[in-house]
Structure 1
Amino acid sequence: MCGIAGLFLKNHSLETELGRLTAGMLSVLTDRGPDSAGFAIYGAGNPGHLKFTLRASAGFDFFALPAKFDLSCTEHDDHAVISFPAEREAEIREVLARHPEISIVSTGARMELFKGVGLPDDVSKRFGLHKMSGSHAIGHTRMATESAVTTQGAHPFSTGTDQCLVHNGSLSNHNAVRRVLAREGIKFDTQNDTEVAAGFVAYQLREGKKLDEALHAALENLDGFYTFVVGTETGFGVLRDPVACKPAVMAETADYVAFGSEYRALADLPGIENAHIFEPEPAKVYFWERAA
């Protein structure tokens, strides 16, 4: 049992509220996943630049990195975000590879991704989610049932640029899919089945599919019971397996689309009293997109 929250803003004027609203949705879902939490937020990008979200042990001096790279750095507890011209990605990856104490959590033009062990409220506060802005966000509260409670095992998982996925459920064929994807160059850091789902979607996007097409492919290739919420630089998608035994509810207004594992995660959103409230149908891809 885990909790998923997602918020996709249609109304640009709400972007400064994205972090606060997402934090509230995660807080409400605490009892669905009290051991760890995480979120990805799609904020402002810098044309021609990429961001790495990095994680290191407590006390690591992230600000020593810009001295090596001549880059900007923003610290968030044991995570940090560095921004750099896209053509320098290979060079910076090579330098970071010499520092095993540093993990690259995500890569993106707009996406930043943070996760940690602890109650969702504590994780949100540690990283300053309440103050973050952007167009859309995806969050997850985890109750670990098949693996250890670690930061690495927390959601979201990202295996592609500006792409991430959260998951409630369990995949039955993830080991076979992992082997196929590994041969295609998709790198995995954990044994978590959710990372395999993220890798599958990332591979489909890499092959030129749109997010809705990638999710249709997931229906054909991923077995088990699952609800996915997926983010890309411009898109937000939702998919439930054909049985759809995991709880899910959505709300749509002229201003936003929201997803929650339970309605209470949506109850405090602005204008919720006028929203179209619905349960996403089994094996149906839901997809929204806006200009970058």
Structure 2
Amino acid sequence: MHDQSRRQFLSMLTAASAGALLPVAQSFAVEQEPWFRISLAQWSLHRAFQNRTANPQDFPRLARRLFDIDGVEYVNQFYSDNYSAALTRKLQQQADGEGVQSLLIMVDGEGDIGAETDAARKQTVARHQRWAEMAKELDCHSIRVNAHSHGSYDEQMKKAADGLHLLGEYCEGLGLNVLVENHGGLSSNGEWLSGVMRLADHPRVGTLPDFGNFHIDRENGLTYDRYRGVRELMPWAKAISAKSYDFDENGEAVQTDFQRMLDIVRTAGYRGWVGIEYEGNRLSEIEGIEKTLALLQRMQRGGQNRFL
């Protein structure tokens, strides 16, 4: 984060801590509820958290007071070093105080769901359990995991499905969903991940389609069509990640046609939260979130279906 952006963020953060709602997100009057609601993925502020410009434990407050957003998606890596019941209570109390709904925890770095052996897959499931328990205490509906594995196309499908089924059984007892994001490797192949969903065959196992994560092999430039991929993943979708990187002079996302993508989401019958996940570098994190929020709000106004 360059000096000007850091000063801007610190200024906004000071105002937010003082209780001021900044006019970065303009509300609008509508005759009916929009067909989706807007949440904020914590990764959108990852640079601010990583360089300690902001405290991850203030995330619900920041979402509300900086952007007037009332749904949040946590990232486990920001809490790995200080995981505790006290931390969970603090986040829950803050979210409740701000009127912010905790939706899910994105879990990374806890092993491969599609590990090679039964024992290794069970170990991965065990390592995810503390995050599932934290999600339950925060009243989240899901944890988001990765379907990483090794081997042939079919071997990876079977192993990932087995690991997800095991984790789904555990999370069923907590009233939680286990969602897989297209997040690199074969998980960014919509056809493959759809096959995993069918093999996992568990009501608690679903998908979190991401608008931008369709790089199967970055080194060799192998990608998957993002619109096809999201369409293939929608039958199991329980959350949506509206990934953004940059915007043109009209406020439209450069890499993804948001109108086309949200038409796919709406046509599939989805009525839920759509999470902002800004990952661009040209704009500051605050500016990128604001522009993604403004774009999604335009999409809300244009929608005809009600949020249920």
TM-score normalised per structure 2: 0.31
Higher relative helix content = 2
Find the structure with the greater CA-based Rg.
Answer: 2
Higher relative strand content = 1
